[in-house]
Structure 1
Amino acid sequence: MSRLPFYLIVGLLMALGIGTSLHRHIQMEVPWTPGEQRQVWEVEAIVDFTAVGDPVRVELALPSHQRGYRILTENTASPGYGLSFLQDETGRRAQWSIRRATGSQQLYYSVRMQVTDDRRQRQIARPALREVSWERPYDTAAAQVIERAWARSADPYTFTRELIRDFDAERQGENARLLLTQFDRTPLLVRLLNQAGVHAREVSGLVLEDGRRRQTLTSWIMVFADEENWALFNPRTADQGQPENLLLWETGGRAVLEVQGGTNSRVTFSMLSRSQPAAAAVRSQLVDDTLLNFSIHSLPLEEQALFQTILLIPIGALVVVFLRILVGIKTSGTFMPVLIALAFIQTTLPTGLIGFLLIVSVGLVIRNYLSYLNLLLVARVSAVIITVIAIISIFSVLSYRVGLNAGLTITFFPMIILAWTIERMSILWEEEGPKEVLIQGGGSLITAVLAYLAMNNPWIRHITFNFLGVQLIIMALILLLGNYTGYRLLELRRFKPVTED
């Protein structure tokens, strides 16, 4: 029979598992290792204005996901105001409204932005060229400034740099000084660029500095080389490119703040930088959950904690399959060591080992007495279950009385599994003798300890919980191990005399 379908299934599982894991790491920046920190900026915008007793409507431009920053959470505080979040081709805006307000008013907006390694340029629609008209003598001055910069440039970006430098104090000519007496610097540069046929607009950004209060937005010039590519220019220094600490707040060419029904309006910003675990930042991105980004993080915390343990079981199963098929260790029950390893995670390894040995030892003694009663199987196993419960209860009370609170954790042992383990070992003792009991019991304990060490590893716990594609990889590995038909490592000792001869 052809093994091609089998290997195709294994390859498909591997590809899906690796692909989904890489997607979560690259797209959502889920870290491979636990304990990684991410820088998060908390920015608060305060809108102040004086209401005159009429209906009030306030619109504030809002930031969006952009190069180097991703929004985690947003909050507002506006008692008595209605609030809506609007979005169009110019960007996102918050709109507050109230039927009547009088006196000093304050509206609050706060956002938490995570610093990311994503340096891809965001797609922004290229603005149309605006018709520019000047009064005399500004038309002549503008034409001469454009002509001078155009002669020393080769493309829209170099033309923008030369144009800005012509307004510096060192290179500023009479034409530039004349224009600056009538127009503000940044809107003037945008008008000159549009007149020269360069698509450009004025945008607003916030320079992030830790612990700063009452900061205002700064103006920047966005210049488009074509419909897709653009660059940011500092209108004061002609520096090209977006600084690392610049958060673009408004990129649609509209006013940052619009207030109807109020006067003396302004918006100021306060900011604070802090670090937080990368996993916590990932949990804040629930709005981005998609089919490819499927994760346990969308569940309530209680269910998340439950799944964090459940997702470790395949790791224990992989350890059991490896030890039984390749190494040849015998265990009492196929996957009983996995359940014992789960109990070790709850009890800690030393307490779990002592509790397991005590319960099984006492249970075997009592089970040996029950064998003389000639009970049926169901009744005998039921009696063993009740015995195991009694043993755990007695050990818990005694450990608490002597001040060993760690002994209370033995209640996490799976009682049904322990009862069947005692029953199997007792039958094995009667049929095969104590040696086989020690071999299978010791093998079960060794397997449980190794499974515990694998399942309790912080890196493995992090990977299995945050990358569900790992489950497909584990399944593929188990399928490959299940296809193995060679000798086990412990069987090789049978051939030792042959090698000696």
Structure 2
Amino acid sequence: MASKLKIGLVAAFLIIFGLGLTLYKATRLGLPLLPGESREVWTIESKISFKPASGPVEVDLKTPQALGGWVMLDEHFASSGFGFTVENEVGRREARWTRQTLEHPTTLYYKIQAYRANADNLPDYPVQLESPPRLQADQLTAMERLVELLREKSTGPETLARLLIQDLNRDEPDPDTAFLIDSYSGSTQQLMLDAMTFAGVPAHLVRGIQLEDGRRRQTLSAMLEIHDGKRWVLLDPVSGEAGLPDDFLVWQRGPGTVLRVVGARDSRLEFALVSNNLPAKAVVSMEQQSEQFALLDFSIYALPVEQQGIFKGLLLIPVATFVVVLLRLLIGVKTSGTFMPVLIALAFMQTTLWVGLAIFLVIVSVGLWIRSWLSHLNLLLVARVSAVIIVVILLMATMAVIAYKTGIDQALTVTFFPIIILSWTVERMSILWEEEGGHEVLMQGGGSLLVAVLAYLVMSIPLVAHLTFNFPELLFSLLGVVLLLGKYTGYRLSELYRFREMVKPQ
């Protein structure tokens, strides 16, 4: 059988297979092919890890309540050989895992899916003023002076709390505040609560999760909630801004611990977050049917959330490689390295386009200048490339420090660039400069940037991100198209332009 026929049959099978699975998921599982009107549904996976100690093990985790307009779509518990119960009390819901003995480090999982339907305020909460804490004499004196100073400057409980937050977050706080921060071992949250108690203002912490797509190993954050005599006011403990942020999911409101572990040690609570712009009904339907259609449902929702966040970016790489194939095989664009533009495009996804272009040009330009100086030392290849890698890292560190000192936060994303690829780019362009001249360096360097920018623009299309994440089986079809393009032996568009004089009538 001829090679072209084999490739054609394999490519046709892959294309039909991928499109068939996509059609199945769209019709049977209800996943939309187009993003359309959708809600931002957050999948939040809490991971409780601990090591064995002695005696029976009991793990209690307070579960979140639907506060502030949030709606809980679904939840899943992983018991891993533990006994499991859920206790419901007024204003509190708690999951409990129990086991008689534990012999090895263990991880328990609790996953929820939620979205914010309305930007509501938190509901009413019982007003209760805690008893003043017992402090040492010097702490008590400093606390009284601090509270008295805040009362003189404020007009009510809310302004007093804002002034306290502002004072605690200064680079150089006043002596009393600095002493209290040191005596509280840097625990400004507890210091805020104690100061509000001394001021006679009811206050407590609201713990929750700062939502950030793709974030792994996230921990709980806290906001300060005070009662101004008429209503509860929620304040950011850093900026002092009032109100519940849109990207904050309330996990626990009021005193108490979120996690309690007995009979084990080194316990830790971490969260992995993934955001999906899908209709809520489609997400719930997919979760309910994931076991029934396990063989044909190729979505990655069955993976742990931490891995989902990784694959959300990885599944865009084949799209970028397809852009490279089109531009190199059909257009004839020259690049420095076959798939180096793909990695640069991935870096642009983190840095934004213009900032990424500026960082790339600065690093490569300075790297080429230093590489030209190294060429006069007649170093061996391995030593020369290692020296270039060290220089590139120093350049990136220098840019990050300068960006931080000058307040250019966007340039801090320089760390997202692949160091080894940048180093090899500098090395390859330097050799190309010596062998072919500056014109060829500009052609390949410009071509690489052009391909990287186009790949970035394609990967940034919401429809592309939606299809690759929810219908990864389309990559089979993409593979089939790439195989067909791999047998193309005709003219490239750049060659047609190059030989245009030959087709003109004599």
Describe the superposition over 1:360-393 as per-residue Cα deviations: whole angstroms up to 9, x where unpaired: 0000000000000100000000000011000000
Q: Confirm whether residue 425 of structure 1 aligns to residue 395 of structure 2.
A: no
Describe the superposition over 1:20-71 as per-residue Cα deviations: whole angstroms up to 9, x where unpaired: 1011111111111225338x9xxxxxxxxxxxxxxxxxxxxxxxxxxxxxx9
Alpha-carbon shift at residue 456 of structure 1 (Å)? 1.4
Alpha-carbon shift at residue 74 of structure 1 (Å)? 9.8
1:333 corresponding residue in structure 2: 337
Alignment of 1:171-320 (within 5 A): 278=278, 280-284=280-284, 285-289=286-290, 290-320=294-324
Q: Confirm whether residue 32 of structure 1 aligns to residue 36 of structure 2.
A: no
1:32/1:378 CA distance change after superposition, 3 Å: same
In 1: Cα distance, 2:344 partner to 2:7 partner: 32
Alpha-carbon shift at residue 494 of structure 1 (Å)? 2.8
Q: Is the 8 A contact 1:359 1:392 kept in 2?
A: yes
1:19 partner amino acid: G
In 2: Cα distance, 1:391 partner to 1:11 partner: 48
- The runs of 5 or more residues in structure 2 that have no matched partner are 42-72, 78-84, 90-112, 114-275
In 2: Cα distance, 1:77 partner to 1:386 partner: 54
1:345 corresponding residue in structure 2: 349
Describe the superposition over 1:231-286 as per-residue Cα deviations: whole angstroms up to 9, x where unpaired: xxxxxxxxxxxxxxxxxxxxxxxxxxxxxxxxxxxxxxxxxxxxx95355444433
2:55 corresponding residue in structure 1: none
In 2: Cα distance, 1:328 partner to 1:20 partner: 34
Range that drifts further, 299-308 or 412-421: 299-308
2:408 corresponding residue in structure 1: 404
In 2: Cα distance, 1:6 partner to 1:316 partner: 22
1:458 corresponding residue in structure 2: 462
In 2: Cα distance, 1:278 partner to 1:353 partner: 32
- The runs of 5 or more residues in structure 1 that have no matched partner are 41-70, 81-111, 113-275
In 2: Cα distance, 1:77 partner to 1:426 partner: 64
Q: Confirm whether residue 497 of structure 1 aligns to residue 501 of structure 2.
A: yes
User: Is the radius of gyration larger for structure 1 or structure 2?
Assistant: 1
1:31 partner amino acid: P
1:50 corresponding residue in structure 2: none
Q: Confirm whether residue 14 of structure 1 aligns to residue 18 of structure 2.
A: no
Q: Confirm whether residue 472 of structure 1 aligns to residue 470 of structure 2.
A: no
In 2: Cα distance, 1:78 partner to 1:421 partner: 59
Q: Is the 8 A contact 1:342 1:452 kept in 2?
A: yes
Alpha-carbon shift at residue 497 of structure 1 (Å)? 1.5
Alpha-carbon shift at residue 77 of structure 1 (Å)? 7.7
Alpha-carbon shift at residue 5 of structure 1 (Å)? 2.2
Q: Is the 8 A contact 2:328 2:334 kept in 1?
A: yes
1:369/1:298 CA distance change after superposition, 3 Å: same
Alpha-carbon shift at residue 410 of structure 1 (Å)? 1.2
Q: Is the 8 A contact 2:298 2:471 kept in 1?
A: no
Alpha-carbon shift at residue 301 of structure 1 (Å)? 1.9
1:374/1:291 CA distance change after superposition, 3 Å: same
2:278 partner amino acid: A
1:74/1:382 CA distance change after superposition, 3 Å: closer
TM-score (norm 2): 0.52
Q: Confirm whether residue 372 of structure 1 aligns to residue 376 of structure 2.
A: yes
Alpha-carbon shift at residue 325 of structure 1 (Å)? 0.4
1:366/1:73 CA distance change after superposition, 3 Å: closer
Q: Is the 8 A contact 1:363 1:384 kept in 2?
A: yes
2:9 partner amino acid: L
Q: Is the 8 A contact 1:324 1:330 kept in 2?
A: yes
3-state secondary structure, aligned to 2:464: helix
3-state secondary structure, aligned to 2:34: coil
1:375/1:485 CA distance change after superposition, 3 Å: same
In 2: Cα distance, 1:299 partner to 1:318 partner: 26
Describe the superposition over 1:474-498 as per-residue Cα deviations: whole angstroms up to 9, x where unpaired: 1011101101000010011232222
Q: CA RMSD in A?
A: 2.8
In 2: Cα distance, 1:402 partner to 1:21 partner: 49
TM-score (norm 1): 0.53
Q: Confirm whether residue 354 of structure 1 aligns to residue 354 of structure 2.
A: no
In 1: Cα distance, 2:426 partner to 2:76 partner: 57
Q: Confirm whether residue 363 of structure 1 aligns to residue 363 of structure 2.
A: no
Q: Is the 8 A contact 1:396 1:410 kept in 2?
A: yes
1:394 partner amino acid: T
In 2: Cα distance, 1:279 partner to 1:294 partner: 19
Q: Is the 8 A contact 1:347 1:409 kept in 2?
A: yes
Q: Is the 8 A contact 2:298 2:473 kept in 1?
A: no
In 2: Cα distance, 1:421 partner to 1:399 partner: 24
Alignment of 1:96-245 (within 5 A): none
1:443 partner amino acid: G
Alpha-carbon shift at residue 458 of structure 1 (Å)? 0.9
Q: Is the 8 A contact 1:328 1:488 kept in 2?
A: yes
1:400/1:281 CA distance change after superposition, 3 Å: farther
2:30 partner amino acid: E
Q: Is the 8 A contact 1:72 1:281 kept in 2?
A: no
Describe the superposition over 1:411-465 as per-residue Cα deviations: whole angstroms up to 9, x where unpaired: 1000000000000000000000000000000000000000101111111001000
In 2: Cα distance, 1:26 partner to 1:421 partner: 46
Q: Is the 8 A contact 1:364 1:426 kept in 2?
A: yes
In 1: Cα distance, 2:458 partner to 2:279 partner: 21
Q: Is the 8 A contact 2:385 2:427 kept in 1?
A: yes
1:302 partner amino acid: E
In 2: Cα distance, 1:7 partner to 1:487 partner: 20
In 2: Cα distance, 1:424 partner to 1:277 partner: 41
2:328 corresponding residue in structure 1: 324
1:432/1:13 CA distance change after superposition, 3 Å: same
Alignment of 1:1-80 (within 5 A): 2=2, 3-37=4-38
